[in-house]
């Protein structure tokens, strides 16, 4: 609809230029939905933008433009409001066309090809393999996976990535913790590692190691990741499936072999996290190991490249990045005096890998506590001087999640020892509610997850409210079947003018917002917009459903109402699918 209105305005401006009434080019005007019906359905700021260059009052310019707007079956009238906004009031036919489009496109309604099949890498979760996934990881998984679904719906070729930090002090602490359990040392023993992990899962890892268990997993690129970089240059991006290696680790059972314990523990927890994510409906295309950046010399390559470009220097026995040259608030140490690299250097090497793999767009989802590292990673990428844009990669940050039940905060999980896990959340609230609630608020705002509300089968529970709207339409369909009423869609689409009244109109307006909403949510990396929209659509539908009877004797009126109901169900199903939430047919 915005495109149709834009064409009308451009036609009017072209006509004015031909007649000599306008001697400046068309401005980059915006058409937006109005917040109140009294101002029409859409408003445009073209007159305000033109007024300054023409040296005229905006309302005068608006009057000139409105007089030149051609007639259209989609527009009932055009008015001028405020300082010079041009407001469009649409005819019923405009909304009817959108209902026809929904029923014609079906599951593809709301999808577009704006991404033009370009490659986008979406990295999310990326948890250290040191324990079960917690509620923060759950929010990352819901946010990242929904973003990936939105990108796919808008025509991008999406690659989901999980970056494993399988090196460093935390992994060493994991190995020491498992070793202590193997040797019968408990967390309250003075011999327990100072920074050891205390959850019950450590005992499970130790028991499996002692009995010589084998841990296997698949779909991991690991050290093979660089073998398929060139594939992204091919026109047929679908053929660029990475070669997977999988992994298989058998416990050596030696309590003194700390390296063997480390390898087994990491593999064991990788498998554990995979199982949790699959239960959450999340799978990845690429699993990248931090350790491979060291074994393949990628970290060293980054440091040498930055030095060659003159963007580093030695001071106090350390190697520094001139990060202030690229917008950071101070220079950053890349290599410490003991020869160890600081943590952001492998992050630079990892994102360089994404760039070399051809990602036209890269989105990294992180906890808000990582905010401080963003500027230095981008500075490191800029210091390579290979043409990486300043705002690449894009970041999406999520805030903490507080879990409440019975009016009290839930903090402890017996399995994890000190935090609520993703699996705990699914078991307490259910998969659909967990995914929806973690998406429903903007990711950079703190979230209170109310278990009691998530389990409630009332209209106060937003996911229940939305799913119930879908189920209600399915109930209408079953009633029609039981009463041998046949829905004649072709006939219905010729009688949509029978959809009278404000309630039906509100549903049609909400339905029509869906394609634009999907585009905006993907472009702005804000999946919560989709969750909020679905609640608004469900609300409009419930009001209409309660106000009007669908299965009336008048065939034309019944078919028209059923057509709008079916269109609503389709949009709800499409939107819920993008959230990874089911669309039940009965409740």
Domains of the chain with CATH codes: 2-90 (3.30.1360.70), 297-359+369-390 (no CATH), 462-579 (1.10.730.10)
pLDDT, tens only, 533-581: 999 999 999 999 999 999 999 999 999 999 999 999 999 999 999 999 9
Residues, the chain: 587
The pLDDT score that the predictor gives to residue 448 is 96
pLDDT-derived band at 496, boundaries 50, 70, 90: very high
Report the C-alpha gap between 434 and 143 in whole angstroms. 12
What does the CA dihedral 513, 519, 524, 525 come to, rounded to 10 degrees? 110
309-338: average pLDDT:
94
Q: Is residue 358 scored above 90 in pLDDT?
A: no
Question: Pairing relation of β-strands 42-44 and 85-90?
Answer: antiparallel
- Start-to-end CA span in the chain (Å): 35
The pLDDT score that the predictor gives to residue 232 is 39
pLDDT-derived band at 311, boundaries 50, 70, 90: very high
The pLDDT score that the predictor gives to residue 223 is 38
pLDDT, tens only, 187-198: 999 999 999 998
The pLDDT score that the predictor gives to residue 245 is 53
Q: What percent of the chain has pLDDT over 70?
A: 94
Q: List the Cα angle 137/142/148 in 5-degree steps.
A: 120
Q: Is residue 113 scored above 70 in pLDDT?
A: yes
The set of residues, in sequence order, having a beta carbon less than 8 Å from that of 177 and lying 6+ positions away, is: 192, 193, 196, 197, 198, 202
The pLDDT score that the predictor gives to residue 412 is 65
The pLDDT score that the predictor gives to residue 165 is 84
50-62: average pLDDT:
92
Q: Is residue 285 scored above 90 in pLDDT?
A: no
The answer to whether the bond into 393 is cis (omega within 30° of 0) is yes
The pLDDT score that the predictor gives to residue 240 is 40
Average pLDDT across the chain, whole number: 91
- Beta-carbon neighbour count of residue 221 at 10 Å? 23
Burial status of residue 316 (CB atoms within 10 A of its CB: 0-12, 13-18, 19 or more) = exposed
- Beta-carbon neighbour count of residue 189 at 10 Å? 10
8-33: average pLDDT:
91
| Low-confidence winner among 117-126, 306-315, 408-417 (lowest mean pLDDT) | 408-417
pLDDT, tens only, 75-108: 999 999 999 999 999 999 999 999 999 999 999 9
pLDDT, tens only, 504-539: 999 999 999 999 999 999 999 999 999 999 999 999
Report which DSSP code applies to 411. -
Say what the pTM is. Answer: 0.90
246-257: average pLDDT:
90
Cα of 452 vs its chain's centroid, Å? 26
460-470: average pLDDT:
97
Please say whether the beta carbons of 216 and 246 come within 8 A: yes
Q: Is residue 456 scored above 80 in pLDDT?
A: yes
Burial status of residue 143 (CB atoms within 10 A of its CB: 0-12, 13-18, 19 or more) = buried
Report the C-alpha gap between 568 and 95 in whole angstroms. 13
Report the C-alpha gap between 562 and 496 in whole angstroms. 10
Q: What percent of the chain has pLDDT over 90?
A: 78
383-408 as b/e: b if 16+ CB within 10 A? bbeeebeeebbebbbbbebebebeee
The pLDDT score that the predictor gives to residue 413 is 61
């Amino acid at each position: 609809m915005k495109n149709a209105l834009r064409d009308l305005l451009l036609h009017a401006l072209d006509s004015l230029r031909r007649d000599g009434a306008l001697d400046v080019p068309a401005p980059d005007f915006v058409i937006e939905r109005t917040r109140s019906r009294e101002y029409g359905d859409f408003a445009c700021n073209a007159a305000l933008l033109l007024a300054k260059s023409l040296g005229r009052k905006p309302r005068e310019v608006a009057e000139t433009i409105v007089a030149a707007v051609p007639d259209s079956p989609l527009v009932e009238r055009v008015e001028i409001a405020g300082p010079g906004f041009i407001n469009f009031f649409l005819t019923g036919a405009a909304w009817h066309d959108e209902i026809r489009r929904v029923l014609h496109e079906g599951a593809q309604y709301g999808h577009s090809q704006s991404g033009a099949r370009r490659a986008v890498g979406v990295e999310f979760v990326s948890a250290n393999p040191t324990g079960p996934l917690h509620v923060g990881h759950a929010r990352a998984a819901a946010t990242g996976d929904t973003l990936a679904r939105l990108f796919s719906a808008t025509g991008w070729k999406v690659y989901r990535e999980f970056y494993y930090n399988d090196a460093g002090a935390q992994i060493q602490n994991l190995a020491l913790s498992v070793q202590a359990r193997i040797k019968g040392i408990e967390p309250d023993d003075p011999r327990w590692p100072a920074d050891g992990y205390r959850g019950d899962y450590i005992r499970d890892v130790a028991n499996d190691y002692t009995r010589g268990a084998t841990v296997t997993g698949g779909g991991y690129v690991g050290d093979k990741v660089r073998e398929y970089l060139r594939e992204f240059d091919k026109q047929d991006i679908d053929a660029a499936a990475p070669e997977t290696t999988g992994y298989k680790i058998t416990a050596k059972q030696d309590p003194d072999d700390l390296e063997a314990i480390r390898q087994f523990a990491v593999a064991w927890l990788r498998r554990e996290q995979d199982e949790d994510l699959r239960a959450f409906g999340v799978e990845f295309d690429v699993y990248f190991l931090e350790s491979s950046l060291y074994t393949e010399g990628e970290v060293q390559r980054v440091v040498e490249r930055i030095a060659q470009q003159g963007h580093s220097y030695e001071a106090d026995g350390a190697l520094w990045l001139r990060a202030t040259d690229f917008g950071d608030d101070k220079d950053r140490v890349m290599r410490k005096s003991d020869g160890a690299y600081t943590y952001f250097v492998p992050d630079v090497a990892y994102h360089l890998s994404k760039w070399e793999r051809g990602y036209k767009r890269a989105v990294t989802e992180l906890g808000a506590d990582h905010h401080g590292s963003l500027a230095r990673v981008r500075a490191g990428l800029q210091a390579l001087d290979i043409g990486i844009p300043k705002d690449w990669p894009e970041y999406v940050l999520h805030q903490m999640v507080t879990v409440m039940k019975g009016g009290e905060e839930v903090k402890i999980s017996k399995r994890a020892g000190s935090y609520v896990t993703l699996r705990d959340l699914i078991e307490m609230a259910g998969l659909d509610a967990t995914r929806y609630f973690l998406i429903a608020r903007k990711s950079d705002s703190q979230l209170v997850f109310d278990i009691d509300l998530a389990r409630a089968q009332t209209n106060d529970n937003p996911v229940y409210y939305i799913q119930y709207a879908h189920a209600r339409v399915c109930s209408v369909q079953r009633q029609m079947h039981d009463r041998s009423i046949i829905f004649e869609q072709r006939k219905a689409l010729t009688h949509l003018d029978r959809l009278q009244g404000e309630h039906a109109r509100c549903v049609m307006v909400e339905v029509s917002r869906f394609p634009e909403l999907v585009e905006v949510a993907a472009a702005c990396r804000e999946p919560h917009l989709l969750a909020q929209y679905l609640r608004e659509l469900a609300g409009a539908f419930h009001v209409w459903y309660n106000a009007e009877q669908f299965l009336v004797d008048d065939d034309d009126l019944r078919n028209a109402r059923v057509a709008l109901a079916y269109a609503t169900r389709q949009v709800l199903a499409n939107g819920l699918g993008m959230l990874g939430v089911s669309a039940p047919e009965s409740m």
